[in-house]
Structure 1
Amino acid sequence: MSSLIKGMAYVRLTAPDLGRMQAWLEDFGMVPVERTETRLYMRGIGDSPFLHVTELGEPGVASFAYELADPDLLHAAARLPGAQGIDTLDAPGGGKRVRLRDPNGLWIELVTGRERADPLPERPLTRSGEAESRVVGPARVRRIAHTAYMAQNLSEVIDWFHTTLGVIPSDDLVLDEDDLLGRFARVDLGDELVDHHVIFMLRGRRTGMHHVSFEVEGVDDIFFGYDHMLLQGADHVRGIGRHALGSQIFNYWMSPYEQMHEHWISQERLNADSKFNRVRIGEGMSYDTGERPPRRFVEQATPLSVEVNA
C-alpha cells in the first residue's frame, strides 16, 4: 500500500519559558515566525510556514505532525479509528488537519492545505571579491526530517504506524534473530525517492520522544553549527558522526528542557522497492563513526504531554 503521509510537517513540544526556547532554537538554526503568550512558531530556510511549535507548559512532547500525501486523503484520515474529525489549523499558513492518538496517547496531526512560505535566500557558494572561505554563526535548518520514538510497547507502536500511516520498514535493529530493538520506517511513495526513515521506533524502559531531526542546508552547517552551539554554551550530547544506516551525518543537542534535537544531512534515498534489512547490533554497526553513544543518548526519552489539546 502507499503511505497516507509524504513526510513530516512539524513537531509540537512543550516548555515553561518560550523566550528561552526561542533563543536556543535560533542558535540551533531556526527563524521565529510568530509568538504569542502561549505558543512559539519557528521555521527554517525552506518553504514550510513553520516546522517547530513550542506550547507553554511543562517540558515534554505534544505531537508529531505529518503532511498528507494528497489533499484528497483528508476525509480518509478523518475516518481512521479514534480520529477527532477535520478542523482548521490555527497557525501560520493555515490549512486543515485531523488529529488522533497513537497507542500511548501521543497526538498525531495529519495536515494538508498549508500555504507555503517564501524560501529564505540560500547561502552563496561562489566567493565574491569581498568574501572569505569562513562562515560563523548558527547552522541553517532547511526542513524537519524525522523523529525517533522510544516505547515500552514497541511491537504495538510499530503495528500502529504501519497500519495507520502506511509507512514501510527500511531496516530493523536486532540483538539476535528474535529480539527486535528498533525499526526504521519510511514513507511509501512508489518510485519516488524518499528519506531512509520518517520515524525510528525503538524499545526502551520509558516512553517518549528520543529526538527530532532537522536537515541542514549543507554538510558544512553540521560543523560551523557545532562551533556556534558550543560558543553559546549549548548542551552537546553526541557527534559529529555518521550513522551506518541511512548514511547520515549527525550531531545531537539537548534543549534547555531535555528535548533532543539533531542536525542531520544525508544523501541516501530509497523507494518502495528498496531492500529491507535486519541488522544485528555490533557487527552490523561496524561502519557507524564517531564516539560510542553515551548512556544519556541511549536512554533519552522526552515524556509525552498528553494533556495538550492544541
Structure 2
Amino acid sequence: MSYVRLSAPDLGRMQAFLEDFGMVLAHRDAQRLYMRGVGESPFLHVTELGAPGAVSFGYQLSENADLAALAKLPGAHGIESPDVPGGGQRVRLRDPNGFWLELVTGQQRVAALPPRVLVRGPDGESRSLGPARVVRIAHTAYATPNLADVIGWYQRTLGLLPTDELFVGQADNVIGQFNRVDRGDELVDHHVIFLLRGQRAGMHHVSYQVEGVDDIFFGYDHMAHREHDHVRGIGRHALGSQIFNYWMSPYEQMHEHWISHEKLNASSRFNRIQIGEGMSYDTGEKPPERFVKQATPIVEWPAGTGF
C-alpha cells in the first residue's frame, strides 16, 4: 500500500482528525490535503474536497514494473505523472466494484522523522502524552456483494496470494479472504487487502502501522481525550497476530491503528477458518454491528487532472 484517497467536505476538520490519529501535514491547498507519517513515504493519506466517501487506493509497484503493460489492462488510463508530493508515475484502473486503483512507481522518498526517545533522562518519567506515531499504511479492506469475482480479479491483476479465508457454517459460505503480496522468499505482512462479503461495495477500513505497541494505547488515550468516534478495540486479531484499534473519521471513514509481528512468504500455508456470526473470532469483545456492516461509499474521481 502507498496511500488512500478519500473525500470530505471540510479539509480542516479532516486534518485535525488525522493529526490526532498520528499523521503529519505534508501539503495542503484549496482542493486537497496530503498527510504523511514518521517514515520515508512522502504521503500516506489524501483527502479531496467533496462529498464524503472513498475515491481511490494507491499501490506501490516494484521497480521493474511495466507501466506500459498495465496501461493496456481493460478500463485502465494511460501513464500519468501526477503533481503530488514525491512525484512519480501512475496508471489508474477500476476494479469490479468500481473502486479506482492508482498503481504507482518512482516516488521520491523523504527523510524519516526522528524516533521517539526511549531512554529516560534525568528529569523524565514513564509517560507519553499525545497521538500515536504512524509509520506507514499497512492494508485496506473492501466490502463487496460479488466476493468470489473480486477475489479472482485482485489475484490475477495484482498477483496476490491468499493467506486465510473465513467461512460461517459450511465451507462454501465464504464471507472474506485475506490476500498478501507475493515477494517470493521475502517476508511480507499477513495481508495487504482484506475482501469481505457485504450488501454493497465500499471501503471497510484503512489500516496504519504505528511505531510500537505502546502507540496503540497512547493513541487510544489521545483520541478518546479529544472525543473522537471510537468503533472497536483495543483487541487482537487472531489471524495475523495483530493488535488493533478502530476509529471513525468525522465523515464515516474507518481508520485502524495496527501493529503485527507475524510475517509470511510465498510458501506460507493457506488456511480456511470457520468463524462465528458477526465476524466473531478475535480476542476481545464481539465486533459491534456498525463494524460488521461498515462500507464507506465510492465517490467519483474529482474533476481536474493536476493530481
**TM-score, normalised on structure 1?**
0.95
Which residue is equivalent to 1:180?
Answer: 174
1:239–1:95 distance in 2 versus 1, CA, 3 Å: same
Counterpart of 1:18, as a letter, is L
| 1:308 lines up with 2:275 in the alignment | no
Gaps of 5+ in 1: 1-7
- Within a 5 Å distance, the mapping from 1:1-150 to structure 2 comes to 8-150=1-143
| 1:276 lines up with 2:300 in the alignment | no
Which residue is equivalent to 1:200?
Answer: 194
- Within a 5 Å distance, the mapping from 1:128-277 to structure 2 comes to 128-175=121-168, 176-277=170-271
Runs of 4+ in 1 over 6 A off after TM superposition: none
- What is the number of residues matched between the two proteins? 302
Q: Distance in 1 between matches of 2:201 and 2:280?
A: 28
Q: Distance in 1 between matches of 2:105 and 2:19?
A: 26
Counterpart of 2:96, as a letter, is P
Question: Cα deviations across residues 195-231 of structure 1 (Å, max 9, x unaligned)?
Answer: 0000000001121000000000000000011000000
**1:106 touches 1:306 (CA, 8 Å); kept in 2?**
no
**2:163 touches 2:269 (CA, 8 Å); kept in 1?**
yes
Counterpart of 2:3, as a letter, is Y
| 1:297 lines up with 2:285 in the alignment | no
Counterpart of 1:249, as a letter, is I
Q: CA RMSD for the aligned pairs?
A: 1.4
Q: Distance in 2 between matches of 1:129 and 1:287?
A: 45
**2:42 touches 2:108 (CA, 8 Å); kept in 1?**
yes
Q: Distance in 2 between matches of 1:84 and 1:216?
A: 34
Q: Distance in 2 between matches of 1:281 and 1:164?
A: 28
Shift of residue 89, structure 1, vs aligned partner = 2.0
Question: Cα deviations across residues 151-203 of structure 1 (Å, max 9, x unaligned)?
Answer: 01111111110111111100000112111100000000000000000000000
Q: Distance in 2 between matches of 1:307 and 1:117?
A: 27
Q: For 2:2, what is the secondary structure of its paired residue?
A: strand
Q: For 2:80, what is the secondary structure of its paired residue?
A: strand
Which residue is equivalent to 1:4?
Answer: none
Q: Distance in 1 between matches of 2:148 and 2:101?
A: 18
Q: Distance in 1 between matches of 2:119 and 2:248?
A: 34
**2:241 touches 2:260 (CA, 8 Å); kept in 1?**
yes
Q: For 2:217, what is the secondary structure of its paired residue?
A: helix
Question: Cα deviations across residues 268-304 of structure 1 (Å, max 9, x unaligned)?
Answer: 0000000000000139x88621111000000000000
Counterpart of 1:167, as a letter, is L
Q: For 1:87, what is the secondary structure of its paired residue?
A: coil
**1:49 touches 1:116 (CA, 8 Å); kept in 2?**
yes
Counterpart of 1:260, as a letter, is M
Counterpart of 1:282, as a letter, is G
**2:54 touches 2:203 (CA, 8 Å); kept in 1?**
yes
Question: Which one is further off, 288-297 or 40-49?
Answer: 288-297
Shift of residue 81, structure 1, vs aligned partner = 2.0
Percent identity of the aligned residues?
A: 68
Gaps of 5+ in 2: none
Counterpart of 1:82, as a letter, is G
Which residue is equivalent to 1:5?
Answer: none
**1:68 touches 1:74 (CA, 8 Å); kept in 2?**
no
Q: For 1:83, what is the secondary structure of its paired residue?
A: coil
